[in-house]
Amino acid sequence: MKTGGKGPGNKGAGGKGPGSSGRGGKPPSAGAPRGKRLSHDARRRAAARPAAGEERVQRSPRPRPVEEAPKPTRAQVKAETSEVLSTGVQQLVVTPDENEMRIDRFLEARFPQLSFSHIQRIVRKGELRVNGKRADSKDRLEEGQTVRIPPLKLEPQEQRPRSLKADTDTVEFLRSITLYEDDDVIVLNKPAGLAVQGGSGTTRHVDQMLEVLTDKSGQKPRLVHRLDKDTAGCLVIAKSRFAAATLAKTFRSRSARKVYWALVAGVPRVRQGRISTYLAREEAYDGDQRMAVAKHGEDGAMHAVTYYAVVETAAQKLGWLSLKPVTGRTHQLRAHAAHIGHPIIGDPKYFNIQNWELPGGIQNKLHLLARRIVLPHPRGKGTIDVSAPLPPHMRQSWNLLGFDDAPYDPIVEAPDE
């Protein structure tokens, strides 16, 4: 019989039963004389030899089928990340790929389920720290720095089914406002009143709309800069990770040339000039936020530079300004225009002239247009140079005032510093 086999009188290796030795749990070794006990080594060698006329067969273990673990769904990944975030404080180390990345974009990349308003809130409250210090959402990180993330309680997000009609309508809308497109870049003519990113109570915004343009490899077009909700005009979108990284460096290095048009109250005495201040965020009594001129060294103060030129005037009551921001601070142009005493018409945050009456026929909407963007192509294919038309409310004002909006700009050659 085969060694180790099961049958009557044998319960298997180590079992006891009729014919078992009772010691060590093995039957007497083949070839061992009765009544004579063998040493432990001898018994082991005897057990290893096949019985007479029997060929010992070495059986290899049967390979088990390898089952690939199912890939987690997007909802599962979000749920797992939410669970990690809610467990307590995290300390994240900035990687080489994240060097010089803005804090808000660092958080968006690490935790895509965090909303823009959520990110701004934890930064504003000082709950996020970089190397132990408070930071602004626009501060840039350095490789090796430690970012402290507070515990976050995230509500589970419902996975709503996509509507084919809604997606088709969104694609058609985006196509209708596209000023330029190639394999890497889209430049949109963002309408006034459309938010670029989500916030408190904002459900319709450009970033959400870009989901419908996700390609077969899962790459969604990315924002590389922002415009205020009520500012119309040129908004640059990257269609790939490579384009996004390259364009982000272009904006950081100030290699992108931006020209804005604005209608302001009054006319600056100096027809062409340079505005240089420090700006810091302040919180209004109603909880709203605005930027205020600050002194160098104040908490959160950042240098801001804008060039301006008067294009045309209307009886010294209104002025058409061409503005060129060198830096890209939040509300920079709006705050700078108010700072020199000529706030932008229709600006609910910064218009600061008491008892000023809006001329008849002009709508009380922000008269600020991102008129032109000029930047090197991310793949070195020359220069992208795109201009946006006046939005409807500004077109109405230009017609009423008799302004000629022929495509020109008097300060395109202004110095960058």
Element (H, E) at 214: none
Domains along the sequence of the chain with CATH: 74-149 (3.10.290.10), 164-244 (3.30.2350.10), 250-401 (3.30.2350.10)
- List the single range of 17-31, 288-302, 387-401 with lowest mean pLDDT: 17-31
For residue 271, how far is the Cα from the chain centroid?
40
User: Which residues are within 8 A (CB) of 261 and not within 5 positions of it... i.e. 6 or more apart?
Assistant: 311, 320, 321, 322, 323, 368, 369, 371, 390, 394, 405
Kindly tell me if the per-residue pLDDT of 62 is higher than 60. no
Across 64-89, average pLDDT: 53
d(CA 97, CA 109): 11
Q: What are the tens digits of pLDDT across the range 284-306?
A: 655 567 899 999 988 889 999 99
- What pLDDT, on a 0 to 100 scale, did the predictor assign at position 91? 86
Residue 409 backbone phi and psi in degrees, to 5: -150, 125
Which range has the top average pLDDT, 53-57, 195-199, 278-282? 278-282
Kindly tell me if the per-residue pLDDT of 412 is higher than 90. no
For residue 383, list its beta bridge partners: 376
Share of the chain above pLDDT 70, in %: 70
Confidence of residue 257 (pLDDT cuts 50, 70, 90): very high
Contact in structure between 110 and 102 (CB atoms under 8 Å): no
Higher pLDDT, 318 or 96: 318
Across 352-375, average pLDDT: 94
Higher pLDDT, 110 or 297: 297
Confidence of residue 319 (pLDDT cuts 50, 70, 90): very high
Contact in structure between 372 and 385 (CB atoms under 8 Å): yes
- What pLDDT, on a 0 to 100 scale, did the predictor assign at position 281? 86
- List the single range of 75-89, 337-351, 353-367 with lowest mean pLDDT: 75-89
Q: What are the tens digits of pLDDT across the range 238-255?
A: 998 889 889 988 998 888
- What pLDDT, on a 0 to 100 scale, did the predictor assign at position 9? 45
Across 80-94, average pLDDT: 65
- What pLDDT, on a 0 to 100 scale, did the predictor assign at position 290? 87
For residue 308, list its beta bridge partners: 273, 323
Across 353-382, average pLDDT: 94
- What pLDDT, on a 0 to 100 scale, did the predictor assign at position 293? 93
- What pLDDT, on a 0 to 100 scale, did the predictor assign at position 240? 87
Average pLDDT, the chain: 79
- What pLDDT, on a 0 to 100 scale, did the predictor assign at position 66? 52
Across 138-151, average pLDDT: 84
Confidence of residue 22 (pLDDT cuts 50, 70, 90): very low
Kindly tell me if the per-residue pLDDT of 83 is higher than 70. no
- List the single range of 13-17, 170-174, 291-295, 332-336 with lowest mean pLDDT: 13-17
Kindly tell me if the per-residue pLDDT of 168 is higher than 50. yes
Higher pLDDT, 233 or 15: 233
Higher pLDDT, 113 or 166: 166
Q: Which of 104, 136, 207, 228 is catalytic?
A: 228
Catalytic site residue 228? yes
Confidence of residue 133 (pLDDT cuts 50, 70, 90): confident
d(CA 8, CA 13): 13
Contact in structure between 83 and 155 (CB atoms under 8 Å): no
Kindly tell me if the per-residue pLDDT of 98 is higher than 60. yes
Count the alpha carbons within 13 Å of 180 in the hemisphere toward its beta carbon: 20
